[in-house]
Structure 1
Amino acid sequence: MAGPGSSQQTNSSNWRQIVTSLYPDALTRTYCVPPVNFNKVPYARGTVHGTGHSALVLHPPSGAAPVHNVPPVSQRPVPPSRYSLLTQEPDPQAIPDNVQESDLRDDFAQNHMMVNLQELGNSRHEVMFILSQLSFGNYLNQPAYAAATAQLPRPSQLDTKKTKYSDGEADFVLIHRQHGILIGELKSVGKSQACSQNPQPPADADVAKRVTKAVKQLDRSETVVRHLVSDVSPGLTVRKALFLPYVSTEQLERVLDNDPQLKQAVCRSLGAGSAAEASQLCCCSDQLSQPASYWHGTPAVLSQLSTWWQHRMACSVYTLLTDDKYLDIVARFVGPATTVSVPCYNGVRVEVRTAGQAVAELGRRLALLVLTLQQLDLMNRNPRLVCLTGPPGTGKTVALVLQGLRWLLQGHDVQVVSTLYTSRAASRMIAGQLGMALSADPTPPPTPGSIALHHYDFHNREADVQQAVTDLVARVKDGQLHVLLDEALFAGSDVYGQRNTTLVGRLAESVPGLHLWAAGVYHTDIPPSLRPEPLTVPLRCAPSVLREVQTAVDRLTAGIHNYSDSGVPAPGDGLRVIRLSHHGNAHTGRWPAECRQCGKEVAAELRRLGVGSGGNSLPNSPAPLSYSDVFILTQSSELQDDIEDDAGRVTSRASGVVRGLRDEGLPVCVLGEQDWRHNRARWERDVDDVAVAATDRVTVTRYDWLQGLERRVVVMLPGRDKEVDEGLSDEEIDLYDRLSAASRCTTQLIMVDVPPVTTAPSTAT
C-alpha cells in the first residue's frame, strides 16, 4: 500500500484497486466485514504455580469464584515460536473488564444474525458487503489519509449539542450493488442465555422497550449514512430494518398494535402503513435458523429469509449505482482510510478486514495459553501419576508442557517418551517447547533439569518395551523419575495399548518415586497406577471446526469422552468450512491425493486466504498467514514425494496433489508412507522441522504422523490406507478423518468431497 501523501491516497480509482485487491470478487459475491464476529470472552487471570506462567482462565460471568486475585508473578517471556503452547498476551497483569451476561447475549445474537445474512447472500448470489458493528467514529479516521478525506462528508459534520452522531454505531450496514443500502438494528431481547439453547418468548413490555430504543438508533444511523454517501450518489436508496432474532413476527405485531405511539414511530421509520406491514419488514425469529443450530440454514429457513429479503428490498434496482460508484461507496466504509477493527479482551483493537486476516487473528487468540478452572486446579494440585483423557483440542498437551516445565524449574530431568512413530511429532514438539521456555527465561534457576527425548516402536518391536524400562530406570535421580507420555493408547485389545500398559506398570514397580503424566484421546483401560483426569472443554479450535469433529465424536463413542460446554463462548465462531470437490474432467484418480487438479484447487483457496503473501498491507492488522500455518492431511497410502535412488535419479514421481501444489508455486514438505520407507533419515528431519514449524512450508502428510500438532488452516483429503482401512466403509473412514485430521485445525477447515464411485476411476497422470 502507498505511504502518506502518495497519489494513491487522493485518487478514487486507486482506492477501488485497493478494495478489489482485498476483495477480488467484490462485483460478484457477498462479503462480510469483518468476516468473523469476535466475542467478548470472560477471562480471569490465573497462575500455574511452580511454572512462572500466568494463564487466561475461562470464567463464566456468574456462579464461579474469581481466580484472578493471585499473587503477582514475574512473567516469563513468550517462547519465540509461532506455535508455542505457552503463548500469552504482552500485558500479563492486566485484568480484563468484567464481561456481563448481556454482553454474551449480544455477541451470540450478532453472530447468529451475521451467519444468516451471509447464508442469504450466498444462496441468492447477491452482490453486497455486510458490514457489522460499524462505528461511525472509525469512518475515514486514518491519519495518513487526512488530506485525501478532508473534503469528504464526515459524521462529525452532523454533530449537535443534543446529538453526537460521530459517537454512534450501526449493528449492520448492507451495501448492495443493485438495491442500495440497508441499515439493520439488532436487539437480543428474548435471548435468555448466552449459550445456543432455544430461548423463551420475551415479555411484550421488554420487546416494546427495546424496539423503542432501536427505532431511535435506526433513524440516527440513517441520517449518518445518507450524509456519508451524499457526494457519491445523492439519491441512493437507504432502507431500514429491525433484526429481532428471538421475537416472532406475531409477537412484534401484537406489541405494536398495543402501543399506538410505538406503532406510529416504527411505521414512520420503516415506511409501513400498519403494524402487520411493519412486522413483515422486520427480520424476526420466523425467518432465521434456530438458536441451537444457528449455523444451519435449512432450505426452509433460507426460503423464509429470502421472502423477507424480497419484501424488504422490494427487488428494486437503483440504475444510477454503477460498478465504480458501488466500489467507491464500499471503499469509503472498508477501504484503507477507515479503521475496520475488532475488540480484544485486553483493550487492544486489531484491524480485520479479510478472511485471511480473520483466520490469522482468530488463530492467534485460540493459541493463547487458556485453561479451564478444572485444568488450573489440576495443575495446582500437582498429582504424581495422571492420565489426561478427552477428545482432541481440550488442552491435554498444554497440560503436559506446563507440568514438564514445573519439573524442570524444580531441577528434575524430564523424560519425553514416544512409544510409536505416530507420537514422534507431538513428543518432539513437547521437548522443543520445554527447551524454548528454558532458553527464553532471563533468570533461570541455578540448576534446572535437562530434557531427554526417547523414541521406541512398541507396535512392531516387543523388545522395545523392556528397552524403554531399562533406559528410563537408568535416568532415576535422587529416587525420582519424571516422564511425559503423549498420544498414549492403553486399549487392552490392542497390542500397542497392552505394551504401553506394561511400560507404565513396570516403571511404577521399579521406581517408587515415579512422576508420570500421560495423555490420550481414549479413556478405556487406563493403568490402575494412573489417575484418570478427563478434559472435555474444547479450547483450541473454532466452533465451526468443532462441529465437524463433533460428528465423529458423537458416532465413534467407544472410549472417547464427549465434549462439554464451559459456559463461556469461544473467541469467535470461525469461518465457514470451505468445501471443494474431487470431481470433473480435470480430476484424476480415485482419491484427491492422486489428483493434480485437486492440488491446484487447494492452492487457489490458500492464495485467496493470503497464505504466503508476505508483509502486512494495512496498519494494525494481524501477521499474514504463512505456509507453515497449513497442514494438508490424508490417510491415503498413495501419498508420496519424488522417490530417488542412490544416484539421485527420480524412480517414482510425487503424488498428483503434491505436483499440483508445486505447479502453483507452493513450497511443500511431504511426509508420505513411501518417504518413510525409502528415506527414513529425511523423514525424521522433516518431522523435527514440522514439530516446531521451523521452515515456512506447507506440510502434506498422513494425519496419524502429526497427532497432537495443530495448524490454523487444515485441508482434509479423504483417502484409504490399503492395509489399515480394509473392511471399513467410506462413511467410517470419513468419521476417522474428522477425528484425526479435522481436529488438527484451529480456525479454517477445507474439506475435499469425493463423490461415490459410479464408473471405474481413471488413472492419475
Structure 2
Amino acid sequence: MAGPGSSQQTSSSNWRQIVTSLYPDALTQTYCVPPVNFNKVPYARGTVPGTGHSALVLHPPSGAGPVHNVPPVSQRQVPPSRYSLLTQEPDPQAIPGNVQESDLRDDFAQNHVMLNLQELGKSRHEAMFILSQLSFGNYLNQPAYAAAAAQLPRPSQLDTKKTKYSDGEADFVLIHRQHGILIGELKSVGKSQACSQNPQPPADADVAKRVTKAVKQLDRSETVVKHLVSDVAPGLTVRKTLFLPYVSTEQLQRVLDNDPQLKQAVCRSLGAGSAAEASQLCCCSDQLSQPASYSHVTPAVLSQLSTWWQHRMACTVDTLLTDDKYLDIVARFVGPATTVSVPCYNGVRVEVRTAGQAVAELGRRLALLVLTLQQLDLMNRNPRLVCLTGPPGTGKTVLLVLQGLRWLLQGHDVQVVSTEYDSRAASRMVAGQLEMALSADPTPPPTPGAVVRHHYVFFDSDADVQQAVTDLVARVKDGQLHVLLDEADFDSSVSGPRNTTLVARLAESVPDLHLWAAGVFHIDIPPSLRPEPLTVPLRCAPSVLREVQTAVGRLTGSIHNYSDSGVPAPGDGLRVIRLSHHGNAHRGRWPVECQQCGKEVAAELLRLGVGSGGSSLPNSPTPLSYRDVFIITRSSELQDDIKDDAGRVTSRASGVVRGLRDEGLPVCVLGYQDLIHNRARWERDVHDVAVAATDRVTVTRYDYVHGLERRVVVMLPGRDKVYDEGLSDEVIDLLDRLNAASRCSTQLIMVDVPPVTTATSTAT
C-alpha cells in the first residue's frame, strides 16, 4: 500500500486499492463508516479519595460540571497500559464540554437509525456504504494529500458570502452500488416523549419547525454532494430523505397538509407530488424498530424498511455507476485523503474507518477509569468491612484496586487473597495492578506498603482455610490487617461456606480488620461484611450487555439486576458476530472439538485486524493485538498438547486450538487437563494472562478468567462432563452468557450449535 508521501497518491486506482484493502467486500456488502456511533457522554472530572487518581465520573447531562464534594484533580498518573484498571485519558486536565440533553437525544436517534439501516443492508445483501455524521470540512482535508485535493471538486469551491458549504454536515450519506446516492437528514423530535412510559407524539408545531430546518439542510447537502461527484459521474442520481424515528408517517402527512408552504418545500426537495407521497419517501417511526428495543430489528420491521427503500431508492438502477466509479466515489469520502473522525471529548482526534478500529477505540474508552457517584461516595465513606456485589462489568474489581492503592499509600501492606482456582486470575490481576500503580507513582509516599499474594484451594479441604487464617494473622501489623478478596462467593457451593469461615475467623482474630471482598452473588454474605450492591454497567458495550442481561435477568434471586445510570455508554457497540458449528467440514459434538471452528474463528479475528499491526492511515486507534482476545468455553475437553517427560505428545490439543494455530495465531490454552498435568505451567500461564504480559490469544475455560475482560470474546458452547449432568441446554446457555459473554467489553462472537439430531450424530 502506498503511503501519503507516495508519488501514486493522486492516482484513483491507488485510492481504490486502499479502499478495497480496508473494505475487502466493498462490491458485495454493506459497510457503516464509522462502524459505531460514538456518543457524547456527560462526564465530570473527579479525584478518587485517598489515591489522588483522576477519574471520569458519570453525571447527569444537565450538570456536567465539577462533582460536588470531590477534591480537585491531582497530578498522579498511571502509565498507559491496555489493561490497566486505572487508565486515564492522556491529558488529565482536559475538562469535558457541557453535554446537553438534546445531545443525548440526537446520539440515541443517530444510533437507532444507523442500526436499522445496517440491518436493512445486511438483509438485502447489497453493496452500500452508510456514512454517518459526514462533515464536509473533513472532505479531502488531509495535508499529505493537498496536491491531489487541489485537482478535485471540494466544498470550499461553493462557499459564498451568504453560505459556507464547507461548514456543513450530513447526518447520513448512503452510497449504493446500483441506485446512486441518498442523503438523509435526521431529526430526533419526539425522542423524550417516545421513551417515556406513556409515549405521546410530539406537537405538530415542533415537527413542522424541525422539518423546515431539515429541508434547508438537505438542499444544501445535495448541492455539495453533487458537486463533489461531478467529475466522476456527472448526472449521478442523488436523492434525499428525512429520518424522523419518533414521528409517524400519518402525523408527518398531517403536518404537511396543514402547512401549504412547508408541503411545497418538502415535495420540491424530495421530488414528490403530494404530502402523502412525500411522507412515504421519508423514514418514520412506522418503518423503524421501537425506541425501547431499538436494536431488535424484527422481520416485520425489515419488511417495512424494505418497502420504504423501494419507494425511495430501489425504483431505478443508475447506469452511470460502474464498479470503478463506485469505488472512486467511496474512496473520495472514506479514503486516505478524507478525515473520518469520531467525537472525543478530550480534543484528541481519532479516526475510525473499519470494524477493527471501532472495536479498538470503543474498547479503549470502556477501559477508562469511570466511576459512578455511588462508587465515589463509597470511597469517601471508606468502611472497613465491605462486600461488593453485582452483575459483571459494574466496577467491583476496580474499586478493590482503588481501595488497595489507598491502603498502600497509607503505608499498609495489602494481602491479596485467592481461595480457589476460579479466583486465581482475578487476584493476580489485582496484585499486578497495585504493583504497577505504586511503581509508576511520580510522588510515592516515603514508606509505602507492600503487596502480598496468597493462593489457596478451599475446594480441596478445610485445612486450607485454617492455613489461610494462620498466614494472614501472621501478617498483622500495628494491630491492623488489610485484605482484598476478589471473586469470592459465599453461597452454598463447596468453597462458599469456607470463604465465610475465613472472614469470620479473621474478624474474630483481628479486631481492626480491613477487608474488602467482591463477588457476583449477593446471597449468604457474612454478617460482618456490609453489602454494597453495584449495578450500573461500566465495562462493556450495550450490544454485549444485551446478551449478558439475558442470563442476569433470569438469576435475579441471587444476582442483582443491572440498573440504568441515565448516562449513555461511549457507544452501542458492534453487532454480535454469529458463526455456526455446522456443515461437512465440522467435526465433533461441540466447537471445542472442531478444527474447522478454529479456522473460522481465526478468519473472523483476522477480518477485525487482530495482530495485523494496524493501518498506515494517520490518527488510527492502536490496533487490536492477540492479547485482546479470549476464546472461552465451559467444556472440560479443552486442552493443549499433553506431553510426557521426554517431550513426546501423548494427547493432542483440542480441535479448535489446532484450527487456530493452522491459521497462524499464537495461542495460550488454559484447560482443566493442562491444570492436572502441569500445574506449575498452568499457574505461570494464568499469571501471564492476568497481566496481559504476552501477545497471545487465550483459549480457556471460563472458570479460569473470572474478573478479567478482553475487547474481543469468542463464546464456544460446551459441556463439563462432571458438573453438567442433568442440566438443560437452556441452563447451560445462561451460564455461558453469565460467565463467558460477560468477559467481553466490545466485540462478542458466538458460535451456535445445532440441536442433536440423527443428521448431527451422523456428521460427528
TM-score by length of 2: 0.98
Q: Is the 8 A contact 2:140 2:332 kept in 1?
A: yes
Structure 1 residues 437, 574: closer, same or farther in 2, change over 3 A? same
**Which whole-Å CA distance do the structure 2 matches of 1:559 and 1:169 have between them?**
49
| Structure 1 SS opposite 2:191 | coil
Tell which deviates more after alignment, 588-597 or 45-54: 45-54
C-alpha distance after superposition, 1:106-133 (max 9, x if no partner): 0000000000000111011121000000
- Which residues of structure 2 form unaligned runs of 5+? none
Shift, 1:60, TM fit = 1.1
Task: Tell me how far 1:280 sits from its aligned partner.
Answer: 0.4
User: What's the CA shift string for 1:411-446, capped at 9, x where partnerless?
Assistant: 000000000000000000000000000111122100
- Separation in 2 of the partners of 1:598 and 1:473? 50
Q: Is the 8 A contact 1:57 1:371 kept in 2?
A: yes
Contact 1:400–1:484 (CA under 8 A) maintained in structure 2 = yes
Q: Aligned equivalents of 2:461 and 2:705: distance in 1? A: 21
Range with bigger deviation, 622-631 or 85-94: 85-94
Cα distance in structure 2, aligned partners of 1:282 and 1:80:
47
Q: 85-94 or 235-244, which moves further after superposition?
A: 85-94
Q: Following TM superposition, by how much is the alpha carbon of 1:348 offset from its aligned partner in structure 2, in angstroms?
A: 2.0
Deviations 1:574-622 (A, max 9, x none): 0000000000000000000000000000000000000000143111110
Offset at 1:237? Answer: 0.3
Q: 1:136 to 1:693 in 2, by over 3 A?
A: same
User: SS of the residue aligned with 1:8?
Assistant: coil
Q: Conserved in 1, the CA contact under 8 Å of 2:713 and 2:748?
A: yes
Return the alpha-carbon distance in structure 2 between the equivalents of residues 221 and 80 of structure 1. 41
- Alpha-carbon distance change, 565 to 226 in structure 1, aligned in 2, over 3 angstroms: same
CA offset digits 1:349-380 (Å, max 9, x no partner): 21000000000000000000000000011011
Distance change in 2, residues 1:191/1:450 (3 Å): same
In the TM superposition, what is the alpha-carbon distance from 1:761 to its structure 2 partner?
5.4
Q: In 2, are the aligned partners of 1:473 and 1:507 still within 8 Å (CA)?
A: yes
Contact 1:199 1:246 in 2 (8 A): no
Maintained 8 Å contact 1:104/1:194: no
Distance 1:763 1:444, change over 3 A: farther
Residues 198, 290 of structure 1: 8 Å contact kept: no
Asked if the contact 2:53/2:77 (under 8 Å) is kept, the reply is no
Contact 2:80 2:87 in 1 (8 A): no
Distance 2:90 2:670 in 1: 35
Aligned partner of 1:684 in structure 2 is: 683
Q: Distance in 2 between matches of 1:226 and 1:697?
A: 48
Q: Contact 2:64–2:98 (CA<8 Å) still a contact in 1?
A: no
Contact kept, 8 Å, 1:505 with 1:527, in 2: the verdict is yes
Taking structure 1 as reference, are residues 687 and 198 closer, same or farther at Cα in structure 2, changes over 3 Å only? Answer: farther
Offset at residue 557 of structure 1 (A): 2.6
CA contact (8 A) 2:65 2:98 kept: no
Matched residues in 2 for 1:441 and 1:200: separation? 54
Give the C-alpha shift of residue 496 in structure 1: 1.1
Q: Contact (CA 8 Å) 2:54, 2:74: kept in 1 or not?
A: no
- Maintained 8 Å contact 1:198/1:292: no
SS at match of 1:181: strand
In 2, the alpha carbon distance for the partners of 1:587 and 1:711 equals: 27
CA contact (8 A) 2:46 2:72 kept: no
Once the 2 structures are TM-superposed, how far is the Cα of residue 495 of structure 1 from its aligned partner?
A: 2.6
TM-superposed deviation, 1:52: 1.3
Q: Contact between 1:589 and 1:761, CA under 8 Å: does it hold in 2?
A: no
The residue aligned with 1:531 is 530
Match of 2:761, SS? coil
Q: Deviations over 1:210-231 (max 9, x none)?
A: 0000000000000000000000
Alpha-carbon deviation of 1:760? 7.0
Cα deviation, residue 50, structure 1: 1.1
Matched-pair contact (CA < 8 Å) for 1:475–1:481: yes
Q: Post-superposition shift, 1:516?
A: 0.2
**1: CA distance, partners of 2:737 / 2:558:** 16
| Equivalent residue number for residue 740 of structure 2 | 741
Deviation at 1:315, TM superposition (A): 2.5
Distance (Å, rounded) in 1 between the aligned partners of 2:49 and 2:16: 54
Distance in 1 between residues matched to 2:83 and 2:731, nearest whole Å: 31
Asked if the contact 2:42–2:64 (Cα under 8 Å) also holds between the matched residues in 1, the reply is no
Q: Which moved more, 1:170-179 or 1:121-130?
A: 121-130
Distance 2:115 2:312 in 1: 19
Counterpart-to-counterpart distance in 2, 1:484 and 1:196: 42
Deviates more, 1:441-450 or 1:55-64: 55-64
Equivalent residues of 1:556, 1:735 under 8 A apart? no
How far does residue 63 in structure 1 lie from its aligned partner after superposition? Answer: 7.4
Distance 1:363 1:260 in 2: 49
3-state SS in 2 of match to 1:32: strand
8-17 or 331-340: bigger deviation:
8-17
Is the alpha carbon distance of 1:80 and 1:218 closer, same or farther for their aligned partners in structure 2, counting shifts above 3 Å? closer
Deviation, 1:656, is 0.2
Equivalent residues of 1:197, 1:292 under 8 A apart: no
Deviation at 1:94, TM superposition (A): 2.0
1:581/1:4 CA distance change after superposition, 3 Å: closer
- For the 8 Å contact 2:3–2:616, the answer to whether it is kept is no
1:647 paired residue number: 646
**Contact kept? 2:193, 2:202, Cα under 8 Å:** no
Q: 1:269 to 1:590 in 2, by over 3 A?
A: same
Alpha-carbon separation, structure 1, partners of 2:447 and 2:723: 47
2:536 and 2:563 in contact (8 A); partners too: yes
How far is 1:72 from its partner? 3.2
Q: 1:65 to 1:506 in 2, by over 3 A?
A: farther
User: 1:416 aligns to what SS in structure 2?
Assistant: strand
Q: Secondary structure, in 3 states, of the residue corresponding to 2:120?
A: helix
Q: Which secondary structure does the structure 1 equivalent of 2:62 belong to? A: coil
Tell me, in whole angstroms, the C-alpha distance in 2 between the residues paired with 1:199 and 1:262: 26
Shift of 1:259: 0.4
C-alpha deviations, 1:710-747, integer Å up to 9, x for none?
00000000000001111101111000000000000000
Do 1:177 and 1:323's aligned partners in 2 also have CA atoms closer than 8 Å?
yes
Q: How many Å apart are 1:80 and its aligned residue?
A: 4.4
The answer to whether the Cα contact below 8 Å between 1:48 and 1:55 also exists between their aligned partners in 2 is yes
- 1:279-337, Cα deviation, whole Å (9 max, x unpaired): 00000000000000000111111000100000011421111210000000000000000
CA contact (8 A) 1:3 1:144 kept: no
Aligned to 2:287: 287
What per-residue deviation string (whole Å, max 9, x for no partner) do you get for residues 230-250 of structure 1?
000001000000000000000
- Number of residue-to-residue matches in the alignment: 763
Q: Hey, what's the Cα distance between the residues in 1 that align with 2:194 and 2:357?
A: 26
Displacement of 1:556 after TM fit? 2.2
Cα distance in 1 for partners of 2:135, 2:64 equals 33
Report the Cα offset of residue 61 of structure 1: 1.5
After superposition, the C-alpha distances for 1:143-166 in whole angstroms (9 at most, x for unaligned) are 001111211000000000000000
Shift of residue 460, structure 1, vs aligned partner: 1.2
- Asked whether the equivalents of residues 589 and 763 of structure 1 are also in contact (C-alpha less than 8 Å), the reply is no
- For the pair 1:133 / 2:133, whether they are aligned, the reply is yes
User: Judging changes above 3 Å, is the alpha-carbon distance between structure 1 residues 596 and 144 closer, same or farther for their aligned structure 2 residues?
Assistant: same
SS of the counterpart of 2:751? strand
1:55-85: CA deviation from partner (whole Å, max 9, x where unpaired): 0000011379940674434322223431000
Judge conservation of contact 1:191–1:199 (CA < 8 Å) in 2: no
Q: How many angstroms does 1:95 deviate by?
A: 1.7
- 1:762 Cα deviation (Å)? 6.0
Q: 1:557 to 1:656 in 2, by over 3 A?
A: same
Alpha-carbon distance in structure 1 between the residues aligned to 2:538 and 2:355:
21
Give the whole-Å Cα distance in 2 for the aligned partners of 1:760 and 1:275.
Answer: 56
Using a 3 Å threshold, how does the CA distance of structure 1 residues 718 and 198 change in structure 2: closer, same or farther?
Answer: farther
Taking a change above 3 Å as real, the CA distance of residues 760 and 277 of structure 1, as seen in their structure-2 partners, is closer
Alignment of 1:566-585 (within 5 A): 566-585=565-584
